[in-house]
Structure formats: structure tokens, C-alpha cells
Copies of this chain bind each other. A is one copy, B any other.
Amino acid sequence: MAIHPAFGDIAHLGHVELLTPQFDKSLCFFTEIIGLHIAGRDERSAYLRAWGDYERFTLQLTRSARAGLGHVAFRARSGPVLEELVRGIEQAGTQGEWREKSFGQGRAFRFPSPDGHPVEIYYETEKFKAEGDQVPGYKNLPQRYSPHGIAPKRLDHLNLLAQDIRACRQFFHEKLGLRVTEQIIFDGDQEMGAWLAATNKSYDIAFTKDKSAAHGRFHHLTYMMESREDVLRAADILTEAGVAIETGPHKHSIGQTFFLYFYEPGGNRIEIGSGGYLIFDPDWTPVVWSREERAQGQAWGLATVPTFHTYGTPNEEEA
């Protein structure tokens, strides 16, 4: 009786493929500094996950001439819902294609976002099975926590740059059922950012305005720690490892998340975060921030660093 798409039809963000022109350095960074685990490799890519991720991987790292987004994948609630979502996308005139079973997942439908980012939706997945000394002490966790590097718990969200924020927001809300949780709208009608959630979290994906003329660019992805104290500790680990921090640790007003931004060796921006708030209200009204409010910077008054407004991958300044 419900009409799809509805909130919940997309269950969650599944994985992100990042392109890197420094594959070996990027892989070393994600395993040694970030503390992700390698789930598998093939000729082009390495597949990684955090200790709390339940699927076989959440990050696909792929050799490429330039940095940026390979694709982002969301898991549907069920097989039939996946079919219905695809039907809706196609009826709306978006061209996509089914791709066969690949590493860790079943068939997936890949299509472009309104800004051209490759997006996949899938349902069938391989769940991580811990073995040996990775078997968890707690039955309700997928893997034993073993401190090594920053050791985040799980993939949380990603942020994509786009030219037409309204189009992206509408697509993800209307075709995929995500909830619009927060927005930046300048001067009453100029959409500069949109935050959307597939879950009770304050967001799973965000789109922010690309100030360059490029399409399909990547802003950042985020792995989550269990406490803000852990994010502070992560900042020490990065500092002691000689990794320059772009901004943070500090708190976003939008989404209430505690953030820490830096770049992996391939040039992609990565965030280690924690916190945020849960939305339980089924008829939540998106929170809208004005130009004047955003000019006040981050939660406690920290000026937003200029690169945060301009840098994405691929980096157009290199072109």
C-alpha cells in the first residue's frame, strides 16, 4: 500500500570507491595510519573495511590517473525494493545499467547522479566473517577491536560537490527515499548544500555547491569513532605521523558532528568524526541555514578554512 520510494527503502550507505594516483601510498595510509583492514585485492583495487563494518568492505581504493570518486553505493532494504527503485529511476529518465556480481556484492544498478557522480544501488552483499584472532569477544560486533592506527569503527557518510544542489537533493529524496535533514539556502532560494539521511543518523550523504565549473567531484568521506575523545586522539596520531590537518578537531553546527579533516596521499579529503544526532521524528522538517548563519563559521565560531569551500577531487587547479 505504501508507495515507493519511501524513507527506509535505501537501508544505508554501503561503500565508496576512491580513485588515487598514489595507490601504494594511499593503501599504506588507510591501513597503517587510519587502521582499516584489507578485505581483498584485485588488479585495480584494494577493498578495505573498518572493524565495526558488517559488510565485507566499505572502501574500494582504485589506481587511477587522478583522484576523485570512483562510485558510491547504497544498499537497498530488499531485493524487491531494489527493483522498484530502479524502475522509478528509469521512469524518471535517468539512464543506468545493471552490473554483475562483483567483489563482496551481488548485482547492482549503476547510474549517474544529477551532477554526474557514479552511483550504485544493490541489495545482495557478503557479510564479513571474522576468523582467527579477529573473532570478536562480543557476539553483536562483527570483529574484535584491535587498536592499530586511528581504528575508526565504521563508514559513516560522504559529501559530494555538485553544481545543482536542488537537483541532487530532489533526486535522492524523490527517487531513493532519503530524508532531507538540513539545508543551506542563500537569500531565500539559492541552494548551497543539502544533507540527506537513509537512516536515523543526521545524514548519510551531503551535497555542497561546487564553486568550480566541474561536475562529479568528491568532497570527503567519513569514518566514525565512538567518542569525541577518540577524535582528539586521532588528531595526535595524525600529527605525530606528520599528516597535515586541514581543519579540526571542532564541531559542525550542521549535523552536530565532531570533525577532523585531512588528505590521504592520493589527494582525497578524509574525515574522522563522531557524534551527530539521531532523528526519530517521521515528519522532520529540514533545518535551513542562511548565508548569514553560515558566515558565522563552525559551531564554536571557528572560521571555515577556505580550502573547505574550494578543494575537491579531482582538483581542478591541477588541470
Contacts and interface: CB of A to CB of B under 8 A. Distances in A.
Contacts of A256: 138, 140-141
Interface string A62-83: 0000000000000111101100
Query: How big is the A interface, by class?
Result: 35 or more
A251 to B, nearest CB: 7
Contact of A240 (B136, B228, B233, B278): B136
Oligomeric state, in number of copies?
A: 4
Contacts of A282: 11-12, 75-78
Nearest to A202: B140
A262 B257 CA distance: 22
Contacts of A289: 139
A86 to B, nearest CB: 14
Nearest to A282: B11
B237 A251 contact: no
B140 A255 contact: yes
Given A139-B253, A140-B202, 7 more contacts: A11-B280, A12-B281, A75-B280, A227-B228, A228-B228, A235-B299, A249-B249
Interface of A: 1-4, 6-8, 11-12, 35, 52, 54, 75-78, 80-81, 84, 127, 136-141, 144-149, 151, 182, 199-202, 226-230, 232-233, 235-242, 244-245, 248-251, 253-256, 258, 275, 277-278, 280-283, 287, 289, 293, 299-301
B147 A54 contact: no
A256 B54 CA distance: 16
Nearest to A226: B275
B137 A242 contact: yes
